[in-house]
Every structure is written in structure tokens, then in C-alpha cells.
Amino acid sequence: MSIGAFRWAKEQEGLRSSEKFVLVMIADHYNDEVHRSWPSIERLADETGLNRTTVMRCIKALETGGFLKVEPWARAYDGGRLNNRYCLPLYDVESKRAKRLPVLSHKYFNNEGKVRFDTWEHTYKHGEEIPAYE
């Protein structure tokens, strides 16, 4: 959670109330260390009380307005979709979307033994390209 991103989102003007609410919730999940937020559509719908279709429409409007950039992610081994990640370029200048989409992530196990997906350098196989950013 990023207090700075949350406050930034609350101050944005010129948005419909539903769009602003979705932006605030995406910002509430923002991670300043990785310059991304990745709540699922279901989580955003649950937290805002909006239906999935409305959340997706709001995300599209926010992307068109330049408030966020959507970064689709997929599992490298089977192409299965993972939660989109959201960049907030107006809040964080280091929040840049990958040039090559979708970003392919690799399975790894965290310290608790739970399966996670990410693009950690140590998971890249010989010859695989590390994603570049805009």
C-alpha cells in the first residue's frame, strides 16, 4: 500500500465518480518498490461495489486519459493469464509499462513455499529476454 499514491489518486479531477473510485483503489494497492499495482478485477469490483464490466470500462477510460497504463501478464510456460499490473505514470515517473506485452512471468516458490509468478532475473532461462520498459 502506498499512502502517496492513494493521496495522489484522491486529488485527481475531471473523472467520473466510478473512475475515480477505481483509480483510488488501484492506488491503494500500489507498491512503490516495484512501481506497480496488481489487484484483480474481482478484487476491485468487490472493494468498489461496482460490477466487473463497470470496473473494466473505468480502467479503459483511465488508461485513455493517461492516469494509468495496463500491463498484461501471462505465465511463460502455458500462456495462462495472470492479474494485469497497473502503472501510474503521473504519480511515479519510474512506473513504466513493459515494451513487450504480455509480460511473461515464471513460476517460483517464495520462502513460505507458496507458488508465485514474476520476472525475477534468476528465473530466466538461457537466451530469454528480460523485459524492457517504455
**Rounded CA Rg of the chain:** 15
- 128 lies in a domain? no
Q: Please check whether residue 92 lies inside any domain of the structure.
A: yes
Residue 22, C-beta contacts closer than 8 angstroms, at least 6 positions apart: 44, 48, 50, 55, 58, 59, 62
Per the structure, the complete domain to which residue 87 belongs is given by 3-123
Average pLDDT over residues 63-87: 88
pLDDT confidence bin for 111, thresholds 50/70/90: low
Domains identified in the chain, total number: 1
CATH number, residue 8: 1.10.10.10
Flag whether 130 is in a domain: no
**Residue 132 lies inside a defined structural domain of this protein:** no
- What value does the mean pLDDT take over residues 79-105? 81
pLDDT of residue 34: 84
At 44, give phi and psi (nearest 5°). -60, -40
pTM given for the model:
0.77
Instruction: In whole angstroms, give the CA distance from residue 105 to residue 20.
Output: 30
**In this structure, is residue 134 part of a structural domain?**
no
Does 23 fall in a domain?
A: yes
Domain presence at residue 55: yes
